Structure 1
Amino acid sequence: MSSEMIFLSILGAILIGAMSPGPSFVLVSRTAIAQGRSAGIAAALGMGVGGACLGGLALLGLSALLLRAEAVFLLVKVLGGLYLVYLGFRIFRDASAPITFESGGPDRAKSLGGNLVMGLLIQLSNPKTVIVYGSIFAALLPAEPEHWLMFTLVPMLFGIEAGWYLVVALVFSANAPRRAYMRAKIWIDRAAGAVMAGLGIRLAAEGISSRIW
């Protein structure tokens, strides 16, 4: 298989994974609806940075190290799950709080930075992602890949993760979704919080049960 075909195969596999619904989708879509396009874009860029970081770790072989260091892997898994539970609780708790759309200035810049960090942390909260990346690379990369292929994988991961969630942010920050959100904010936020917490409980439970059994 040519290097070009390998590149496209990896791109397709990771794009399918990025498009799978999960906590990242919940966070970006809700951020875009509730806080606006800029906030959603900031969260999407955070997802891209997180994806690039995890891809870099996979290329360095740390995915295999995580699998061998079972206790570390499970600890990260449990902590990531608990972080998602915490986020879900906050969203659920603040469901009835009114929204004030920011008009600009330092507070808005701080909020955008916070959304970017939030996207990054959500992406890094699930250590299974680096294992998935490592598995895709192990399955598709040749023993001696061309240099250009290795150098483009991390930027490609950033482009896929950030690009997909930019689309999500642009779609959900449109006027129609925002009007619908404002009409049913309490129930949408409670549903989003419950989903986020549920995914976190599942992730943490996987880590705890793996350690016990």
Structure 2
Amino acid sequence: MIQVTPEQLGVFVATLAVAILSPGPGVIAVSQGAFALGRRRALTYGWGLAIGASFWCLFALLGLTALFRIAPWTLVLMKVVGGLYLIWIGTKLWRHAADPLPDPADAQGMTMLSGLTLNLSNPKPALFYSAVLLSIFPAALGIADKGAIYAVALSVELFFYTALASLMALPFLRRRYFAAKFWIDRAAGLAIAALGLSLVLRH
């Protein structure tokens, strides 16, 4: 029986959406791939990124319960470290909102495997997912709860990368994307930093 509430899942979706929408390397690569190569190539790469990111969510879910049962103090440590990390990410997004976008990723090799490899080679999503899961859901989660949370995470990742590739393949949206970068970064920075602060204060 699933014990997590729809409200908790809604907050999880909203938080994950904010993180995905903040322009990072994966978002930039998918966007530029759509501009240069079209929707199909960008979709393939984006789905690889989505699956890779969801794996980090799965790893976080599988490891949290056992770790906290063996050593309860690690729950407090994870909340503080995760909260400080989220505050750092939010501050960084805010401070660099006006910076120009980096050079686009090389369009060649934009396959599902390369997208999957990119996200699996970066362990930061594991800390992000751990911090977000701890701030929203109880530490003791059943198998059904974990399955539901992972299914939501995978669905959100796939949805947003699919939407991004599809939208950015439309030429007239390119100018709007670049124009909105400053405000997307500022909004994402505030939201992520606020979540991190709540983690630190509630430990």
TM-score greater than 0.5 by the shorter chain: yes
From 11, 30, 33, the equivalent of 2:31 is 33
Is 1:80 matched up with 2:86?
A: yes
The one-letter amino acid of 1:133's match is F
Q: Distance in 2 between matches of 1:110 and 1:164?
A: 20
- Asked whether 1:102 is paired with 2:100, we answer no
Q: In the alignment, which residue of structure 1 is the partner of 2:151?
A: 159
Q: Is the 8 A contact 1:58 1:133 kept in 2?
A: no
Alignment of 1:134-213 (within 5 A): 134=138, 137=141, 150=143, 154-175=146-167, 178-206=170-198
What are the Cα deviations for residues 129-169 of structure 1, in whole angstroms up to 9, with x where unaligned? 135333573xxx5xxxxxxxx3x654554332112220221
User: C-alpha deviations, 1:73-116, integer Å up to 9, x for none?
Assistant: 22331123213433565564233x5646603279x965653345
Q: Tell me the equivalent position of 1:20.
A: 14
1:130 partnered with 2:134 = yes
Partner Cα distance (1:163, 1:184) in 2: 26
Amino acid at match of 1:20: A
User: How many Å apart are 1:72 and its aligned residue?
Assistant: 5.1
Aligned CA-pair RMSD: 4.1
What's the offset of the Cα at 1:182?
1.0
| Partners of 2:56 and 2:8 in 1: CA distance | 14
Unaligned stretches of 5+ residues in structure 2: 34-41
With normalisation by structure 2, the TM-score equals 0.65
Q: Which deviates the most, 46-55 or 19-28?
A: 19-28
Q: Aligned-pair distance for 1:65?
A: 2.7
CA distance 1:184–1:105, change in 2 (3 Å): closer
Q: Which has the higher helix share?
A: 1
Q: Which has the larger radius of gyration?
A: 1
